Structure 1
C-alpha cells in the first residue's frame, strides 16, 4: 500500500515514515510543502495520503487546500489529515465532498500507534476516520466564530473593538501586557487568522467580533 506524506516538521515526518514503513506500508514520497506533495501524488498515484494542515509558506491552510487540489486531480484519492489544528472552511469541503476515503485526526488526541495505523488503513479502503473533536469544533464554528473563545478572550476582544491598545487593556483588566499579548495570540489562532496577516489580524478580529 503506497503512501505519500506531507509534513513540514522533519522529526515528525521521519517518525511517520518509519512507523508506516515498519507497519507494511510503502512510503512512496515524503514531502514538506504543497507543490511537492501535488507533484508526488501525480507521480506515484498513492493508495492513501497523510496530510498536515499548516504548511509553508504561510502555515495557515495550505495542506487542506492541497488535499482538495489532489482529489480534484485524482478523484477519490484517500486523504487522512493529521494535524494539531481544525481548519475551518476547507476542512468542511474536504469532509463533505463524498469522494473516496477521508479522515481527520488531531495529533495530540491520538493515544495509540495502532489507532493511527487503523485510521490510515480505513481511509485507504475508502472509509472515514474522523476525530469527534473535529466534528464538534466544525459545528461550533458554524454557529459562531466567537464560540471557541474563553470568557477572558472575549473580554479582551471586546476591549480591542473599543479601540484600546494592549497597555490600556492590561490596565482595564488589571493584568500584565504579556498576559494580554498571550490572550490576543489565542484569539487570532481560534479565529483562524494567519500569522502572516500580522498587520491586519487585529482589525480582522475586531470585524469578526462586530459581525457576530
Structure 2
C-alpha cells in the first residue's frame, strides 16, 4: 500500500520508512509538520497516513489537529497516530472524528515490528486499533455511573480486545471461544451500552468511545 509519514524526527521517519518498505509497502512521502501533512494527504489520498501527535511549532498536538483537519475533508481517511505517552483525550478526539480506519499507538510499539505492521494493515483496511496500554489505563480508572460497569467480565474482555482492534475471529482465537460466541457477546455489549443498530453509526467505534468515556 502507499503510505504517507509525518514526523519532525528524521531518525524516526527513516526508521518507519525502512520498516514499512521491508513489510512490502511504499512510502510516497515524508513531511515534518501539520500543515504539510494536511496538504500532502488531501492531495495524494494515500492508503494510510502515519503521524506523530507532537510536531512543530508547539510540539503539543499538531499531528492530532492535522488528522482532524484531514478527516473534515476526507471523512474515511485512514490515519494511524503515534504518541510518546498515553493521553486518553487524544484517543477520544481521534475516534470522534470519523467512523473507522483509526489507530493510536505508543511509539514503543513500533519496535515490535510484527505488531506494528499488523496495526498498519488493520487501519488501512478500515479497522480501529488502540494501543493495549491505552485500553489498560481506561480499565484501571474508576468512574461514577459507568455504563461499562454493567458488562460481565467476559463482555469486558471482548470490549477491551475490540478496542485494541481485533476482529471477532481474532477475539475468538484469543479467548478460545467460537466466533458465534463472540458475536453474541458483542450484541449484548451494544445493547447494554444503548447502541442500537444504525447504518450511520459505527457501533464498534461508539462502544469504544463509551469505554473511553
Deviation, 1:123, is 0.2
Change (3 A) 1:107 1:142: farther
Deviation, 1:17, is 1.0
8 Å Cα contact 2:109/2:116 also seen in 1 = no
**1:65-86 deviation line (CA, Å, top 9, x unaligned):** 1111111111110111122123
**1:165-207 deviation line (CA, Å, top 9, x unaligned):** xxxxxxxxxxxxxxxxxxxxxxxxxxxxxxxxxxxxxxxxxxx
Aligned residue number for residue 27 of structure 1 = 27
Structure having the higher Rg: 1
Change (3 A) 1:141 1:69: farther
TM-score, structure 2 normalization: 0.61
8 Å Cα contact 2:71/2:97 also seen in 1 = no
8 Å Cα contact 2:3/2:26 also seen in 1 = yes
Between the aligned partners of 1:140 and 1:61, the Cα distance in structure 2 is 25
Between the aligned partners of 1:54 and 1:109, the Cα distance in structure 2 is 17
Moved more, 125-134 or 94-103: 94-103
> Which consecutive segments of 4 or more residues in structure 1 shift more than 6 A?
139-142
Matching of residues 164-179 of structure 1 within 5 Å = none
- Unaligned segments of structure 1, at least 5 residues: 144-212
Matching of residues 1-212 of structure 1 within 5 Å = 1-137=1-137
Between the aligned partners of 1:71 and 1:137, the Cα distance in structure 2 is 27
SS of the aligned residue for 1:16 comes to helix
8 Å Cα contact 1:2/1:47 also seen in 2 = yes
SS of the aligned residue for 1:67 comes to helix
The alignment of Structure 1 onto Structure 2 pairs a total of residues equal to 144
- Unaligned segments of structure 2, at least 5 residues: 144-213
Deviation, 1:97, is 3.6
Deviation, 1:96, is 3.2
**1:11-55 deviation line (CA, Å, top 9, x unaligned):** 010011121122221111111100110111022101111110110
Deviation, 1:109, is 3.9
8 Å Cα contact 1:64/1:91 also seen in 2 = no
Change (3 A) 1:51 1:142: farther
